[in-house]
Amino acid sequence: MKNALQHIRAFITVAQRGNFARAADDLHLSPSALTVQIRQLETWLGVALLERSPRHVTLTGAGREALPAMEKLLLDLSNIVSASQGLAAVRRGVVTVAALPSLCAGALAERLAVFRQWHPGVEVRLRDLVAERIVERVREGDVDFGVGVRSQFGHGLDFTPLLRDRLCLFVPAGHPLATGPVSLQALDGLPMILTGRDSSVRAQIEQVFRAHGLVLQAAMEANYMSTVLALVRNGLGVTLLPESADDGTHRLLRRPLEARGLEREIGIITRTECSLSPAASALIDCLGDLSGTDE
């Protein structure tokens, strides 16, 4: 039935006011137009809802039975509209993001703090994962989007560049490589602290060393970059990590290197055929400043 909700609202107003004239005034209708709406609703339902007299209106048995359900219907609709408007205005919502651990511990955390100030009603659920797992989570729809490295994703995924991240040498204060000229060749055969073999950073380091004919010597391994940095900070060795992993802690120096293959592109990974929620889109817009955070 066309305009069913409008007719239901008319019936509820008449039932609450007990008078057609007062109800028509509340609805900004003429009494005759309101009467037409009620009759159309009764015709549609096949029952009489109101008993009319010159002075007042009362509910029929069917009207008394239908009134609570119709009131609940309009309340539910009002709640749906209010919730939808809140989502559209990014006043509320939940965004789930899968991101590289190096970003989660540094630049991404800073941008999330800004996003919280802009949209305090939006909950962000962060999953820090290695690059391969990020792609899996995005493809399976477990997260709204991912923040990872450019790769050959295949059909169904899009990549939007955010920033370029470079591998740098991290050494403890007082280490021989902490001062003076330093090159990738200086790391040939040098015992290093590395991330685990399932890490995209580890794969990149191995590829760079092979390309330059250097020997990669692993002295220690750790799953998390924060752990690797802690080991370096305590004098247990040196490491190559993305510059975005720099936590700015004292007793740790970051030395830039000039060599092919040390740079990687980081961006937003999304599903091609799926649209993002307003909250997820707003978060991506906020992350657009990541490149400025790392410089």
Average pLDDT over residues 155-181: 90
Structural domains present in the chain: 4-88 (1.10.10.10), 94-295 (3.40.190.290)
Q: Per-residue pLDDT tens for 191-234?
A: 999 998 888 889 899 999 999 999 999 999 998 888 899 999 98
Task: Tell me which residue of 53, 55, 54, 73 sits closest to 12, measured CA to CA.
Answer: 73
Give the relative orientation of helices 20-27 and 4-17 as an angle to the nearest 10 degrees: 130
Q: Per-residue pLDDT tens for 194-204?
A: 998 888 889 89
Q: Per-residue pLDDT tens for 16-69?
A: 888 888 888 888 888 888 888 888 888 888 888 888 776 678 888 887 888 888
Q: Per-residue pLDDT tens for 176-189?
A: 998 888 999 999 99
Which residues are bridge partners to 173 per DSSP? none
Q: What is the DSSP string of 258-289?
A: --TT-EEEEEEEEETT-PPPHHHHHHHHHHTT
What is the helix (H) or strand (E) element at residue 82, kind and residue range?
helix 61-88
Residue labelled with tokens 């009494």: 31
Distance CA 214, CA 185 (A): 7
Task: Write down the pTM of the prediction.
Answer: 0.61
- Enter the tokens of residue 47: 């029952």
Give the relative orientation of helices 61-88 and 278-287 as an angle to the nearest 10 degrees: 10
Question: Are the CB atoms for 99 and 148 separated by under 8 Å?
Answer: yes
Task: Tell me which residue of 114, 120, 179, 160 sits closest to 265, measured CA to CA.
Answer: 160
